[in-house]
Structure 1
Amino acid sequence: MMRSLAQLKALVVPLLALCAQVSAKHDTMVNSQIRLAYVGDTAMRVSWSAFDKVDRPVVFYGKTPSALVYAASSDESVTYNTSSVYANHVTIEGLEPDTVYYYSLPQHLICDNEAHAQPPFSFRTSRSPGDMTPYSVAVVIDMGTMGHNGLTTSAGQGVNPNNILRPGEQNTIQSLDAVKDDYEFIFYPGDFAYADDWLDEESEGFLPNTTIQEGYEVYQSINNDFYDEMTKISTVKPWMVGAGNHEASCIPDGVETYNGISYNASLICQPGLTNFTGYRNHWRMPSDVSGGQGNFWYSFDNGMVHWIMLDTETDLGDGFIGPDQTGGVEKDIAGPFGPYANAQLDWLKKDLASVDRTITPWIIVGGHRPWYLSYANQSTTICWDCKDVFEPLFLEYAVDLYLSGHAHFYQRSAPLNNSVIDPRELDNPTSPWYITNGAAGHYDGLSEGTNPPAPYERFRLDERDATYGWSKLTFHNRTHLTHQFVASGNGSILDTATLYKEH
């Protein structure tokens, strides 16, 4: 809902009162963890976290920072019973494509406490479909909390020394922040914060021991640290996210050992920490305008690219709940989310069939789990079910690139058709290109790929290289796309490859 400046005057007195109440209760920001998401090319979704429920979340905005003369509001202020904050979601509609807007939240505008006062933030709306202007995107997967609750210059017992940061080394969040003017948005197919590793971090002596009953507080603390750290980026760059296995529950695999005792998820994961609850509350992806399902599967256009986010964790159709019996999430803590077994697959086929390649020649798909990888522990990493259900559609509709993570290293593969290397490689192949980059960094660090590598592997960086990083995709025109691996530590480019497609 948009309001004029005159209509907003009635809100000022109650908001001033709210500032006073919150200032008395908290010594941290009223609003934090501000995050953006595209909703087509004429709308933007603004989300943020607050300590208390907001009856009518409001966002002020305008085309200049000194004249935020419009406002949008909603009734979405949601939480769950183990969360320390409320998630607020407001959609700003009626915007112009590819245009900079300035925005702020009410408390940031009028609270007289300097700790709360902030200048307006800004965002740029999405490019219209068919806009062939070149642009770049940051692709980040498997990035956890940095600092005292996560990846830092030390770690607990048993962590490989290659997996800690060197003194003074820049982490991935700092790397993304340093060059945030160089990319349009962040594309993030799963695994945020790694808050579900809290028990491992305590068991290894990295975090102070707590009781199992207090675990949800540690979990929330790690989550909040992560989203606070990302605010410097997420206030100005949209985040288009997907579900990973570490969002499913408060522990990674449903069973965990602590002080020699094995605990079931039902004992450790208190209500609110199962079934992707935090993930479902924290984000609002544009499934409402693309016919998808919540934050799990959806699509959007930006300029010359049609982007698709898939759910590799649940709803794979034909009775599947998780990707496989050993590596998938437990049936009692996750999904399904679609109205029927094949809902995601039916949606994907319809979505792909609707793409006009004369308008958006590129089709880029993201999903958390890979199915082509040089990795020894394939039973818990490779998603064979994903391959079975998604790959035929990728081939039928000429998907250009599939981006995944889950394995904590970087591997660029050749274009593949049912494991067969496309003879044209990157010179106008007829098969999708596969890139896995789960090297963004978290407490447990990087993993090691197999030697010898799979025949389709073309480049890899893993634990032995001790290099964290992220991917930068640059769309030059309707025929050329460049992928680069950016080393977080110093911003250097360690791998570059360009795909040519006639389209």
Structure 2
Amino acid sequence: MRFVIAAAALALLSSHHQLGISTAAGTRAYAASGDVSPVLENATAQNKPIKTKSATGDYLRPTCVGHLSVDHPRLRGKPSDDRTEAEQVHVTLGGPNEVVVVFVTADYRAESVVRYGSKEGELTSSATGTRRTYTQRFCPETFQRAPVMPGSYKVVPSREDTMRLQNTSEWLPPESAAYAKVMTETDLAPFCWPYTNENSYYESPTIHTVTLTDLLPSTTYFYACGSTPTRTFSFKTPPPVGPEVPLRVGIWADVGQSNVSLLNADSLMAYKADVNLLAGDVSYADGTPWRWDTWSSAMEPLLAENLQLYCPGNHDMASGAEHGLSYIARFPSPWQSSGSSSPLWYSIDIGPMHLISLAGTYSPIFPGSAQYEWLMDDIAGVNRALTPWLVLMWHTPFYNSNSHHQLEAEPMRGAIEERLVRAGVNLVISGHVHSYERSHPVRNFTLDECGPMHVVVGDGGNYEGPALPWHDEQPEWSAFREASYGTARLEIQSSTKAVFKWTRQACVRRKSGMFNVWSHENDATYYVPQGGGGGDGDAGPCATEDDNSETRHVTVDEVLIRQHPARCRGEHRSTAAAVETSK
């Protein structure tokens, strides 16, 4: 199926922190002179600092060039002449024992129905849902403007076609308020397309949202979307809520739709987590709305069979005047079942984890605001006997030693950090900075074993590339940092122990003569994946120009997280994270 969008009528530092990682020279390296295991001082009545080491990976990942061309086979979707065919299929968690299935069709009249069952080939249950479309004005950011404009999957409009779309003088009289004469690139609208031009608006495909209820935990369900489905997918529900239930969580953020975005998606697909968390900045559409369609098509192999939860980022809420319109319409959240007043913040119990997802700095969060007051209520209601692991996710990090986005979330940190420490938050997941960084347990920029561990995972593959430089002197609270791309995993093993891993995606090769989304010529050089597989068990050796790693897919940072000692326990029975190397 090829959706007609707007003017379709015109037809992407080897870690020395992990013990024994191989470098390009084939040596065995260890973190900065000594044992990398943090050592906690004896607990006393006062909060004592943590004696530990910090490390910066010396691996430098070559940047990717930009969005993949819409002609890339993963971005095109499944060709079909049937306008009722379900596309861009993805699944997310709803309320307790619920999974929400989302798919789109070209035909607004297509039926919003999902047939499903726990046996392959026996889809004996069905559920119906809602359908909607939305309209969004084209407001492409500077780096996405003239060369990357709306068009069908098959044809990418040229600059000339873009000019024709804005040149209303071809069909309107000079007296019209919508009259515009666009003869050269300099005549194009500098940001948002003129509101008076009917070509300035994108209409989404029909988005169908269907909730499957009364599902059993840890059960594989097969499902098919629409009235005349040609494809069957499957997903596995999370384990039951309980303190000793093992849980596997995939983590990424700042994804976009580059060559590395796809590599990271394939890595998570091979990992087969119980749920994946995407900490903001989903598609990097940035005011070019049909890029939400290409992202959803590219990620369908992952999203249709692996449960995913999200929080919004600046590229979902602000860049390109997005205002969260596409994000909210396409990625439902369990906000109503968690007593929230907005789909931008919510909470949910998954196995032994209580997850709180926030809009963070992209909605007011100070005493008296809806987001703040809901957060205070939700934290107060967490049953740590049932869900001993308290994990929070929002986009803008509190702790970041990169030169990018420094102290951007300081007002939010000032408003809620002490409350989070008292509540015993174990882990805070953020993105935004396009590199990986993990903190030691920290509170107010000081090592504190009662504080949570913060991780920045804004390395999902976005077209803006790895964020550099780091601050020359690594702060004491920063445990490990690397300017690269990858994904993370949280493996909760019991009520008192979890393992956090970050895995670099490496080993690429330079390939010239590729389609350039900026110039529309085959003059681009991309770094494309090289090697096999991509799962945890596949570290296929490869040689990569301008890439100093030997393995394609390698766990670089791995730590053991334990619940805090008894003295940290405040209003909950178990609290935040103490960290030590797990190897």
TM-score normalised by L of structure 2? 0.61
Query: For residues 355 and 369 of structure 2, what CA distance do their matches in structure 1 show?
Result: 21
Equivalent pair of 1:78/1:88 in contact (CA under 8 Å): no
> After superposition, what is the alpha-carbon deviation per residue over 1:211-245, rounded to whole angstroms, capped at 9, x for unaligned?
xxxxx6xx234322211111001111111000000
Question: 2:500 aligned with 1:472, yes or no?
Answer: no
Specify the alignment match of 1:373 in structure 2: 400
Question: 5 Å matches for 1:482-501?
Answer: 482-489=499-506, 490-501=552-563
* Partner AA of 2:219 in structure 1: T
Query: For residues 123 and 400 of structure 1, what CA distance do their matches in structure 2 show?
Result: 28
> After superposition, what is the alpha-carbon deviation per residue over 1:415-452, rounded to whole angstroms, capped at 9, x for unaligned?
11211101xxxxxx311111111111111111012211
Query: For residues 308 and 241 of structure 2, what CA distance do their matches in structure 1 show?
Result: 19
Question: 2:481 aligned with 1:460, yes or no?
Answer: yes
Question: 5 Å matches for 1:338-349?
Answer: 342-349=369-376
Query: For residues 34 and 295 of structure 1, what CA distance do their matches in structure 2 show?
Result: 20
CA radius of gyration, larger in: 2
Specify the alignment match of 1:124 in structure 2: 236
- Call closer, same or farther: CA 1:317–1:440 in 2, change over 3 Å: closer
TM-score normalised by L of structure 1? 0.71
1:27 Cα offset (Å):
7.2
Specify the alignment match of 1:165 in structure 2: none
Equivalent pair of 1:373/1:454 in contact (CA under 8 Å): no
Equivalent pair of 1:57/1:77 in contact (CA under 8 Å): no
Question: 2:297 aligned with 1:297, yes or no?
Answer: no
Gaps of 5+ in 2: 1-77, 137-201, 507-551, 565-573, 575-583
| SS, match of residue 344 in structure 2 | coil
- Call closer, same or farther: CA 1:171–1:95 in 2, change over 3 Å: closer
Q: CA RMSD in A?
A: 2.3
Query: For residues 130 and 24 of structure 1, what CA distance do their matches in structure 2 show?
Result: 44
- Call closer, same or farther: CA 1:457–1:491 in 2, change over 3 Å: same
Specify the alignment match of 1:228 in structure 2: 297
Query: For residues 35 and 297 of structure 1, what CA distance do their matches in structure 2 show?
Result: 20
Question: 2:199 aligned with 1:87, yes or no?
Answer: no
Equivalent pair of 2:83/2:105 in contact (CA under 8 Å): no
* Partner AA of 1:280 in structure 2: I
Equivalent pair of 2:131/2:206 in contact (CA under 8 Å): no
Specify the alignment match of 1:161 in structure 2: none
Specify the alignment match of 2:92 in structure 1: 37
> After superposition, what is the alpha-carbon deviation per residue over 1:89-135, rounded to whole angstroms, capped at 9, x for unaligned?
111112222221111113453xxxxxxx22x2111223222162312
Gaps of 5+ in 1: 1-22, 110-116, 153-169, 197-215, 252-268, 320-340, 423-428
Question: 5 Å matches for 1:187-198?
Answer: 187-196=277-286
* Partner AA of 1:184 in structure 2: D
- Call closer, same or farther: CA 1:401–1:365 in 2, change over 3 Å: same
Equivalent pair of 1:372/1:382 in contact (CA under 8 Å): no
Query: For residues 447 and 436 of structure 2, what CA distance do their matches in structure 1 show?
Result: 19
Specify the alignment match of 1:394 in structure 2: 420
| SS, match of residue 394 in structure 1 | helix
Indicate the structure with greater helix content. 1
* Partner AA of 2:332 in structure 1: R
Query: For residues 318 and 37 of structure 1, what CA distance do their matches in structure 2 show?
Result: 29
1:139 to 227, 251, 257: 251
Equivalent pair of 1:284/1:294 in contact (CA under 8 Å): no
> After superposition, what is the alpha-carbon deviation per residue over 1:317-374, rounded to whole angstroms, capped at 9, x for unaligned?
349xxxxxxxxxxxxxxxxxxxxx5111111111111111111000000000001110
More relative contact order, 1 or 2 (CA 8 Å, 6+ apart)? 2
Query: For residues 34 and 393 of structure 1, what CA distance do their matches in structure 2 show?
Result: 38
Question: 5 Å matches for 1:26-425?
Answer: 26=81, 30-54=85-109, 56-81=111-136, 82-107=202-227, 109=229, 117-118=230-231, 120-130=232-242, 132-147=244-259, 171-177=263-269, 179-181=270-272, 183-196=273-286, 219-251=288-320, 274-318=322-366, 342-379=369-406, 382-422=408-448
Query: For residues 366 and 414 of structure 2, what CA distance do their matches in structure 1 show?
Result: 11
Percent of pairs identical after alignment? 24
Query: For residues 73 and 174 of structure 1, what CA distance do their matches in structure 2 show?
Result: 30
* Partner AA of 1:393 in structure 2: R
| SS, match of residue 458 in structure 1 | strand
| SS, match of residue 47 in structure 1 | strand
